[in-house]
Copies of this chain bind each other. A is one copy, B any other.
């Protein structure tokens, strides 16, 4: 094949894999949103078949040869071709280092781990998950060895979620920030001790209507999306102009569903803002999990929990819940939305304490992967780190070391991305605010078009053309750092 043939095959096959990923996403979405309960076995078989098909198309020898040939010969390629070949080769290089038996063993262990965790968690039965977690950690170490690394085995795992990142960069950023936050948290949390949750009865259908209105105002196009209800909120991309979000509702408190919607809307706006002409190729894909999380958290926290947002929010809230709004002014709403309190559960943590939860997990993952910590020492090490970073010890393992699904389902190395999102978005927002001087007036008026436009131009439209570190340098002129986020917290909660 000549270069033109290779290029054609490259893009044809990527577009086929893109179709399969969309189908897979629909199978997964339906499974969590509308699938009848008894259908789960059949659905698992459908998902397995389609995922395997996508995997096989991606790792087909002819396709790999074609990617390798393009990587070698693309000396004077278009920028987009260069990016696409670079990123596909990067993903492929990871995959081809893992033998089929290893992939199968990991898939099995992850499935068993998940099932075991679901059953063992309610009774905090760590003994029950210990054997499978030991196997999963062992698999993670073997995966790191198979993939290879220069500095630390953890880098090989981290790279799956944060391309071009390393523990030696991420760890000082996050632990440094956590140290600063440790000293700040008691002072901030103290101010909120007298604030209760917003009591009331908030009908689900009204919460849905409010969430939908706010998502639309933020710029989420419901002609290319949906908002549904699930046990765990998520965003998923099913195809071009088909990016869906979900949330969950508590009828005694409207905040979790609302901020769930805003968070997932942030993810969806990123996906819908990726260049449509490049869908299915890296130029039309998100940079990393950390940059994705920067978008969800930017909308959720930096915009959605801003004082000026409360002017807008109070107006919308009054429309859907006039009685409750009459008892809650903008300041009160701000306090409810910005309550800072060290607590045990990561997914419920506020934006200030959130980093601490991540640092605990990252340090434990590092030690597990390095082999300096054994699985049976994990609960104790967990408690010690929670004591250190949040001043708390969990009375139960289910709300301690067993609270998150990640490790038990085979995902080790994912957690740092969540916290990196805060670093990225605080630096983005600093630049954006300088570009849009009257941003707060716009937000108060419910006009989010300029900030969304800024994100589209500076983040979304690039797809993977820049790596995360390159992107933030382009935006801010600086390397990724945690000082901006620390400053933001200090100023916001002064």
Contact = CB atoms under 8 A, between A and B. Distances in A.
Contacts of A242: 35-36, 38-39, 42-43
Contacts of A225: 36
Contact of A240 (B20, B42, B222): B42
A61 B225 CA distance: 41
A27 to B, nearest CB: 7
B222 A36 contact: yes
Nearest to A23: B46
A376 interface: no
Contacts of A228: 34
A41 interface: yes
Q: Which bucket holds chain A's interface residue count? A: 20 to 34
Given A19-B49, A42-B22, A36 B223 contact: yes
Give the oligomeric copy count. 2
B26 A239 contact: no
Nearest to A29: B30
A45 B36 CA distance: 26
B27 A30 contact: no
B224 A38 contact: yes
A16 interface: yes
B239 A34 contact: no
Interface in A192-238: 221-226, 228, 238
Nearest to A53: B53
Which residue, A27, A35, A36, A222, has most C-beta atoms of chain B within 10 A? Answer: A36
B36 A19 contact: no
Given A43-B242, A242-B42, A242-B43, A224 B36 contact: yes
B42 A241 contact: yes
A26 to B, nearest CB: 6
Contacts of A490: none
Contacts of A16: 49
Interface string A380-391: 000000000000
A395 interface: no
A407 to B, nearest CB: 31
Interface string A140-178: 000000000000000000000000000000000000000
A74 interface: no
A302 to B, nearest CB: 27
Q: When A and B form their complex, which 4 residue pairs have the shortest distance between CB atoms, in order from nearest? A: A42-B239, A39-B242, A38-B241, A42-B240
Interface of A: 16, 19-20, 22-23, 26-27, 30, 34-39, 41-43, 45-46, 49-50, 221-226, 228, 238-242, 244
Given A39-B241, A42-B238, 20 more contacts: A19-B45, A19-B46, A20-B49, A22-B42, A22-B46, A23-B49, A26-B26, A26-B30, A26-B46, A34-B226, A36-B222, A36-B225, A36-B241, A36-B242, A36-B244, A38-B241, A39-B238, A42-B241, A43-B242, A46-B239
